Amino acid sequence: MTNPIAQADLIKTFRRVLPAHSILSDAEQTRPYECDSLTTYRQLPRLVVLPENEEQILAVLAICKQYQIPIVPRGAGTGLSGGAMPVPDGIVLSTAKLKKIIRIYPTERVAVVQPGVRNVSVSEAAAHAGLFYAPDPSSQLACTIGGNVAENAGGVHCLKYGLTVHNVLGARVLTIDGEILELGGDALDAPGLDLLSLMIGSEGMLGIVTEITLRLLPKPNVAQVILASFDSVEAAGQAVANIIAAGLIPAALEMMDQTSVRMVEPFVQAGYDQDAKAILLCEADGSSVQVQEEIALMSGVLNDSGARQLRVSYSEQERLKYWSGRKNAFPAAGRISPDYYCVDGTIPRQHLARVLLAITEMEKKYELLCANVFHAGDGNLHPLILFDANQAGAFHKAEMFGAEILELCVELGGSITGEHGVGVEKLNSMCVQFTPEEMQTLLDLKSAFDPKQLLNPGKGIPSLNRCAEYGRMNVSGGMLKFPHLERF
């Protein structure tokens, strides 16, 4: 059982191992940590600690283990699933002060960084060697590598370059028992079980990452993007399938529906066709001959797929203009609606049009508008459900809407998250994705690292009881994987 410690004593205990400025305890100081970017879920932490080195983290872990105090690790707080939301009686362990780029190693094409380094800083630091770090979540100016590892972050270029898990070669991890695990490294492969991949996307439930070895890639000399518009979502969805079937691997392949286009165009003037039912952004990067060839091939496929309009960027300025609409979709949603709820799910890409049409039906059912922005090339959906939190029940309706989209994703062979993680937001959807046996395996693995459930407890993996409860209360589509439960 827990060994309760009074707040004043706890602060005193932390003061022995941390500088005073690394401990935040007043509500004014801890308030900024009560949520991540999923602002609808909030909880004040007991304390926030900001250790400056590995030794201090080990000391924090030892204290928390001794007094059985839950720990919520936190990067930049840009997460969208509430993974970094504090838990009652728990502390927040921020890695913000660990922000050294330890080395850039051009011959090996690797960078070794601390978790508090911002995503974009890695590419900036590697630019002198003609290298870059590929995963580029929308929040890349703010989000940190530690958070990217915790959530297995993606981005628009993942179709060609992979997710975080494909671009991390090694990690140094501190366990709740104070052990140091060196996982992976510069080398091609590591022997033994793949603990490194297990750590990536584990949402702070298994350990604290203190050093990360990232794979760098040669920076493409040129990038060009095609902006194509279509008369129907089916035609746009088919064009995506045709590009893939033609053996092309675009650097990015994004889709926006008419709602998102009309939402964003007045705001940024990206040059999008507002009369089209859907637009695609299709990018090629590499050497100039390579890009020239790929743009020609892609243009051919898009034309043959019945594109209404086709525009190719012929300067970096034009390319950035075409992208500005996509990149500003979230702020634009905030401009036309008091609140929005960003869903994150994946589907096999052949079902793109089917899902868009189903979402149109759901808009009527829930009486809420939804703007659709998809990483179409890899089947990762980001429907933005617009609502007004001041209207009673509106947020709950938006959540139900989102959950129904995710159930459809699972039904079509997809998953309930592409890149935002489970956090607290998708605990119920996990019950739709996994069977009780699969969930128990996840819980067993968590316990192998953290038997006392001190690291980010209540996140990422729901209890079997919670799933049973959810099954009794809430399943709309009949996809719940807990077959012994009644359905409503």
Which stretches within 162-254 are classed as H helix?
A: 195-199, 233-245
Q: Which of 140, 259, 346, 372 binds its own copies (CB under 8 A)?
A: 346
In this structure, the dihedral spanned by the alpha carbons of residues 24, 27, 29 and 33, taken in order and rounded to 10 degrees, is 90
Q: Mapping DSSP to helix (H, G, I), strand (E, B) and coil, where does residue 315 land?
A: coil
The 8-class DSSP code of residue 483 comes to T
Least gap, CB of 9 to its own copies (angstroms): 30
Among residues 166 and 466, whose Cβ is nearest to its own copies?
A: 166
Q: Which backbone phi and psi does 52 adopt, to 5 degrees?
A: -110, -10
How far apart are CB 128 and its own copies at their closest, in Å?
12
Q: How far is the CB of 378 from its own copies (least distance, A)?
A: 4
Do residues 162 and 141 lie in contact, with contact meaning Cβ atoms separated by under 8 Å?
Answer: no
Rounded alpha-carbon distances, angstroms, from residue 66 to 12, 180, 255, 281, 452: 15, 18, 51, 53, 11
From 18, 422, 467, 480, residue interacting with its own copies (rule: CB under 8 A): 422
152 binds its own copies (CB under 8 A): yes
- Near its own copies by CB under 8 A: residue from 418, 454, 467, 470: 418
Does residue 363 belong to the site contacting its own copies (CB under 8 A)?
A: no
Among 304, 316, 367, 438, binds its own copies (CB under 8 A): 438
Q: Which of residues 224-253 bind its own copies (CB under 8 A)?
A: 241, 244-245, 247-249
Interatomic CA distance for residues 394 and 389, integer angstroms: 6
User: Which residues inside 452-481 make contact with its own copies, applying CB under 8 A?
Assistant: 460-461
Q: Residues 194, 145, 18, 5: is their CA dihedral positive or negative?
A: negative
Rounded least distance, CB 394 to its own copies, Å: 26
Residue 483 binds its own copies, judged by CB under 8 A: no
- Asked whether position 218 contacts its own copies by CB under 8 A, the answer is yes
**Which residues lie below 8 Å from residue 407, measured CB to CB, with a gap of 6+?**
429, 432, 475, 476, 477, 479
CB 194 within 8 A of CB 290: no
CA gap 110, 94 in Å, rounded: 25
Instruction: Identify whether the C-beta of residue 44 lies closer than 8 Å to the C-beta of residue 31.
Output: yes
26 near its own copies, judged by CB under 8 A: no
Output DSSP code: residue 144: B
Is residue 115 within 8 Å of residue 52, measured between CB atoms? Answer: no
Give the total of residues touching its own copies (CB under 8 A). Answer: 89
Q: Decide whether 181 or 310 has the Cβ nearer to its own copies.
A: 181
Min dist. Cβ of residue 478 to its own copies (A): 18
* 238 C-beta neighbours (distance < 10 Å), count: 18
CB closer to its own copies out of 141 and 180: 180
* Of 142, 310, 358, 442, the one binding its own copies by CB under 8 A: 442
Please give the DSSP secondary-structure letter assigned to residue 49. E
Q: Please list every residue from 57 through 96 that binds its own copies, using CB under 8 A.
A: none
Question: Which stretch in 36-44, 141-149, 189-197, 355-363 sits in contact with its own copies by CB under 8 A?
Answer: 189-197
* Residue spans of alpha helices (H) in 284-435: 288-304, 316-327, 329-336, 352-366, 394-411, 427-433
Q: DSSP 3-state assignment of 133?
A: coil
Q: Which of residues 100-119 bind its own copies (CB under 8 A)?
A: 106-109
- Of 175 and 360, which has the nearer Cβ to its own copies? 175
CB of 470 to its own copies, least distance (A): 15
Question: Could you say which DSSP state residue 292 is in?
Answer: H
Supply the Cα-derived Rg of the chain in whole angstroms: 23
Interface pattern 285-304 for its own copies (x via CB under 8 A): -xx-xx--x-----------
Q: Is 98 in the site for its own copies (CB under 8 A)?
A: no
Q: Work out which of 187, 275, 331, 478 binds its own copies, going by CB under 8 A.
A: 187
Residue 196 or 261: which CB sits closer to its own copies?
196
Residue 43 or 197: the one with the smaller Cβ distance to its own copies is: 197
Among 41, 68, 101, 185, binds its own copies (CB under 8 A): 185
Q: On the CB side of 200, how many CA atoms lie within 13 Å of its CA?
A: 25
Closest to its own copies by CB, 338 vs 451, is 451
Answer whether 50's CB lies under 8 Å from 98's CB: no
Span near its own copies by CB under 8 A; candidates 3-11, 228-236, 355-363, 378-386: 378-386
Residue 128 in contact with its own copies, rule: CB under 8 A: no
Residue of 19, 300, 348, 478 that binds its own copies (CB under 8 A): 348
